[in-house]
Amino acid sequence: DTAVSQTPKYLVTQMGNDKSIKCEQNLGHDTMYWYKQDSKKFLKIMFSYNNKELIINETVPNRFSPKSPDKAHLNLHINSLELGDSAVYFCASSQAESNQPQHFGDGTRLSIL
Binding residues for other proteins, rule: CB under 8 A, are 4, 31, 33, 40-45, 48, 55, 90, 92, 94, 96-107
Separation of alpha carbons 85 and 76, rounded Å: 13
- Nearest CB to other proteins, comparing residues 14 and 39: 39
Closest distance between other proteins and the C-beta of residue 80, in Å?
27
Separation of alpha carbons 87 and 68, rounded Å: 22
Closest distance between other proteins and the C-beta of residue 75, in Å?
17
Pairing of strands 10-13, 108-112: parallel
- Nearest CB to other proteins, comparing residues 80 and 100: 100
Helix (H, G, I), strand (E, B) or coil at 84: helix
Helix (H, G, I), strand (E, B) or coil at 22: strand
Closest distance between other proteins and the C-beta of residue 93, in Å?
11
